[in-house]
Structure 1
Amino acid sequence: MPVPVPRQRGVPVAETDRGSTGAAGSSGGGDLTLLVIEDDPAGTFTVPQLLDAAGTRVRIRSARNLTEAERLLTDDVHCILVDLALPGHGEEELAPLKHVLRLAPRHAVLALTTSGDAERAAEAVRVGAQDHLFRDELDGRLLSRAIRYAVERKRADTAQVKLAESRLRAQENARLERGLLPTPLLQGSDLHFAARYRPGRSRALLGGDFYDTVRTADGTVHAMIGDVCGHGPDEAALGVELRIAWRALTFAGLCGDELLSTLQQVLEHERESEEIFATLCTVDIAPDGRRAGLCLAGHPTPLIARHGRTAKLLPYDDNGPALGLLPRARWPRRQVELGGAWSLMMYTDGLIEGRRGPEEKQRLGQDGMVEMINRQLAAGLEGEALLEAAVSEVRDLNGGELTDDVAVLLLSRHGARR
């Protein structure tokens, strides 16, 4: 014989449902709604609501089967009490409970059974219920406490899952970042390398900026910087693929148009849609460090600072299209004279797309960037310090974090000056 929950003053559902905060959210210390699923709910739950010792009302809804329960499972339900002895659900162990867990993955769930079925009650908790209750030991106080506990435990479990997912995303992003920002391979070269990368923090995700620098067996130093359109792990993963492909193709002896044409094929095979493209800038510096070949695929031209002269943009009128835009595009390689002592700065457009000042709408642009770099060079900055100052000043001018990722690469030669 079931023990009826002590009868208390009933309140109509329409009145008690006011101010509910939703099943998956916090109850905020307010009222709670319990959905009871059992074959004969009137035999155990004889009232529409309970009042616990803390003054919290627990409103009760009743369903005789899972079909009816699905109709009554609205957003204001905080907890579900399911009878493990519900009939008509096949021979699978705990079939009603498993159905409810699939139906309401964000809700707290309690299992109802008899004290003589303790083993099945424990199994119910193992498969996902927050707790179990024995029908023959049930009273209003125990039920109210169990509901509150189940809701809090479900909330804690959900928070733990979100924390674990956040940590996993952080680990994945860290792996992607290591792929985007590799260690340069410059052993045997007299060139100095520096780089800075800052993700757009408004997204809290990696973008598609990437770069690399290697020295081949003949003494040539090859450098590359690129940007996949869009933001997030998918674009970052594509950037990693392009960077690795560039390194492999460079070591295989490809250069200029042949290399970029092959990279375009890689992009076309790996991108998720035909709208995805990537800009790229490649430089190959001769072993003597005085000359370089330059190819641009829709990317901003590098900046060069020579000893005793102001920094300026490298001239490049024959810019090829971004990778992935034209199926049979060509990317001519232009010869550039570097001189004896120089610094070559390659960058993504995040560096030039910020505003000229916190109150201004005009973009910094390449001209504004050149003016900024010349001021910093005049102040004696170089290498890592120069890049750090440049990225920081761009952020300050913008009046806060930039919306796009910023990647900057600096190669310098402090050889014989003239």
Structure 2
Amino acid sequence: MRTLAGALDGPVAVDCVLLDLQLPDAMGLTGLTRLLRHAPGTAVVVLTGQDDEATGVAAVAAGAQDYLGKGQVDGPLLGKALRYAWERKRAEQAEQQLLQQQLLASENSRLERGLLPTPLLADRHLSLAAKYRPGRNGSLLGGDFYDAIELPDGRVQLVIGDVCGHGPDEAALGVALRIAWRALVLAGLPTAEVLATVERVLVHERIRPLFATLCMVEVAPGRDSLRMSLAGHPPPLVATRDGRGHLLPGEKLGVPLGLIPDARWDPLDVALEPGWSLLLYTDGVFEGRVGDGPARLGHEKMAELLLRLLREAGPDADRGAVLDRLITRVEELNAGALDDDVALAMLTHFPEAGG
């Protein structure tokens, strides 16, 4: 009689196995346990002793798809049992995959809520439109995050950041950085201290050498100026109500967080016209290809595209709808979904009407 050890000497390259529970080197459910450990994707029908239904039921509970008693098996019955066992195994695997996908979607949803919070804005003359679009592999979140907070003195703080890479580690780190940023801003710390402390959080929380880019903006209580600090992040775009605008200067671009100890990020002050819109974005929105060659869209062309969309939509258009059109147009230029995640946050000032 063939032994189980001999059968498991190499890979099991069959869809279904008929397993005798009375082999010389494997009696009872021991053989089933060894087989399932060696070939978890294989369907199993166990062959029990005659009138030994209890052992068969126990085998099914332990992972077999069916059981047959010796002396009660003929050719047609055996063929039918093996076919049905394989179909049941396939159904079990499909159900398990569905459950895994549901668990992954639930986990992504929790991470996404941490990366993309509800902004804390009270000024009725301000409105924030935010959009997030996962990259080509939507099952993997990146570390893109944003937040917006209005302080008691009327200042509005905005941030957008991007942890390099994709996956749960990067997303979890992005959540930690975003929560740390919000807590530090609510505590009233100056911008330089906020950035330095967020960087310390990054260094202590990362499980491998990761860095993050970040753009932090403070809008003055009078809504007529802003102060911007860049840590390796592309500069925001500012637009007027009639669709004119430009990217803010990037000459004071600092290094990303997590690269150089004791780095500094010098702020830049910018005047604003009434009725402005300010777009903060991550690099996924402009790194898509243009045409069949290697050329990329780039953040300057992306800015031109957004300004054109704003002019076409008009000054009172829904800014969220404009951002949706921007993402759609960028994907069309890329001839498909973008590889990287996209996070967009547009803060708009309405000087004469509620937001």
From 238, 244, 250, the equivalent of 1:310 is 244
Q: Please give the secondary structure, in 2, of the residue aligned with 1:379.
A: helix
Contact 2:16–2:86, Cα closer than 8 Å, also in 1 = yes
For 2:11 and 2:217, how far apart are their aligned partners in 1? Answer: 61
| Aligned-partner Cα distance in 2 for 1:122–1:204 | 38
- Indicate the residue corresponding to 1:362 in structure 2: 295
C-alpha separation in 1, matches of 2:15 and 2:302 = 56
Q: Residues 133 and 299 from structure 1, CA distance in 2 versus in 1: closer, same or farther, beyond 3 angstroms?
A: same
- Give, in whole Å, the separation in 2 of the partners of 1:272 and 1:217: 36
Q: Which residue of the other structure, out of 94, 99, 103, is the alignment partner of 1:159? A: 94
Indicate how the Cα distance of structure 1 residues 79 and 234 shifts in structure 2: closer, same or farther if over 3 A, else same: same
How far apart are residue 188 of structure 1 and its match? 3.8
Tell whether 2:68 aligns with 1:133. yes
Alignment of 1:199-278 (within 5 A): 199-274=134-209, 276-278=210-212
| Aligned-partner SS, 2:279 | strand
Q: 1:387 aligns with which of 318, 323, 329?
A: 323
| Cα offset, 1:146, TM superposition | 1.3
Conserved? CA contact 1:189–1:219, under 8 Å: no
1:309 shift after superposition: 7.2
Give the whole-Å Cα distance in 1 for the aligned partners of 2:313 and 2:39: 64
- Aligned residue type for 2:278: L
Tell me the number of residue pairs that the alignment of Structure 1 and Structure 2 aligns. 350
Does 2:355 match 1:410?
A: no
Normalising by structure 2, we get a TM-score of 0.92
Q: What are the residue-to-residue correspondences of 1:328-339 with 2, within 5 Å?
A: 328-339=262-273
Task: Check whether the contact 1:340–1:416 (CA below 8 A) recurs between aligned residues.
Answer: no
What TM-score does the superposition give when structure 1 sets the normalisation length? 0.79
Aligned equivalent of 2:4: 66
C-alpha distance in structure 2 between counterparts of 1:75 and 1:88, whole Å: 18
Aligned equivalent of 2:309: 376
Q: Is the contact between residue 282 and residue 344 of structure 2 (CA under 8 Å) also seen in structure 1?
A: yes
Q: Which of 72, 78, 81 is the equivalent residue of 1:143?
A: 78
CA distance in 2, matches of 1:351, 1:369: 8
- Residue by residue, what CA displacement relative to the aligned partner does 1:274-299 show, whole Å, maximum 9, x if unpaired? 1x111100111122211222111100
Q: Which structure is larger by alpha-carbon Rg, 1 or 2?
A: 1
Contact 2:243–2:310 under 8 Å retained in 1: no
Distance 1:244 1:202 in 2: 26
Q: CA deviation at 1:139?
A: 1.8
What corresponds to 1:400 in structure 2? Answer: 336
> By how many angstroms is 1:341 displaced?
2.4
TM-aligned CA deviation for residue 327 of structure 1: 1.9
* Per-residue deviation, 1:262: 0.9
Identity %: 49
Corresponding residue of 1:28: none
Gaps of 5+ in 1: 1-39, 41-63
Residue in 2 aligned with 1:103?
A: 38
Question: Do the aligned partners of 2:238 and 2:248 also contact (CA within 8 Å) in 1?
Answer: yes
SS in 2 for 1:376: helix
What is the CA deviation profile of residues 233-259 of structure 1, one whole-angstrom value per residue up to 9, with x for unaligned ones? 322222112111111111111232211
Unaligned runs of 5+ in 2: none
Alignment partner of 1:184 is 2:122: no
**Cα deviation, residue 389, structure 1:** 2.1
Q: Cα RMSD between the aligned structures?
A: 2.1
2:213 counterpart residue number: 279
> Equivalent residue of 1:272, what SS?
coil
Answering whether residue 228 of structure 2 is matched by residue 294 of structure 1, we say yes
